[in-house]
A = this chain, B = another copy of it.
Amino acid sequence: MLKGISNRISPDLIKVLMEMGHGDELVLADGNFPAASHAKRLVRCDGHAIPELMADILSLLPVDANAKHAFALMKVDPGDPAETPIWEQYRAIAAEHSGNDQPFEQMERQAFYDRVKNAYAVVATSESALYANLIIRKGVI
């Protein structure tokens, strides 16, 4: 534990966050996402939901103000009646840290998965909400 850093941030996670550069992407994967098979680098955060972790990360990680969308979500599959209330939580947290209240790009499932494979790292959480996977693009300091 260190002063001013949430104890949800593990030593491996902070090292990965610090190694990332402008344009590198971090994936916060929900508890059912096939994280180990899609990640170049895998950081496990078992037992944690995404919103608290997202807030902890954004207090350290600058988001890409240059990009049209600094965050990406997986679009609801056609025909799926699922609701995505967690997106509102994400929006509030993102807005607080990036000053942008429309920062989310929505991607179809397969395109989202392909983008995850190129991300710098995937954080495997236990988030149980539907369509809760989130990509964050790092900006500059």
Q: Which residues of A contact B (CB under 8 A)?
A: 1-24, 29, 31-37, 44-48, 59-62, 120, 126, 138, 140-141
> What separation, in Å, do the CA atoms of A21 and B39 have in the docked complex?
12
A-B contact pairs, 27 of them (CB 8 A): A1-B32, A2-B14, A2-B17, A2-B61, A2-B62, A2-B141, A3-B61, A3-B62, A5-B18, A6-B47, A7-B126, A8-B47, A9-B47, A10-B18, A10-B46, A11-B14, A11-B18, A12-B15, A12-B44, A19-B36, A20-B36, A21-B33, A21-B34, A21-B37, A45-B46, A45-B47, A47-B47
> What separation, in Å, do the CA atoms of A20 and B32 have in the docked complex?
8
Residues of B within 8 A of A17 (CB): 2
Instruction: Give the interface SS of chain A, mostly helix, strand, loop or mixed.
Output: loop
Query: Closest residue of chain B to A16, judged by CB?
Result: B11
Given contacts A32-B141, A34-B21, whether A9 and B62 have CB atoms under 8 Å apart is no
Residues of B within 8 A of A34 (CB): 20-24, 120, 138
Cβ–Cβ contact B47 & A3, under 8 A? no
Nearest-Cβ distance from residue A51 to partner chain B, whole angstroms: 13
> What separation, in Å, do the CA atoms of A3 and B48 have in the docked complex?
17
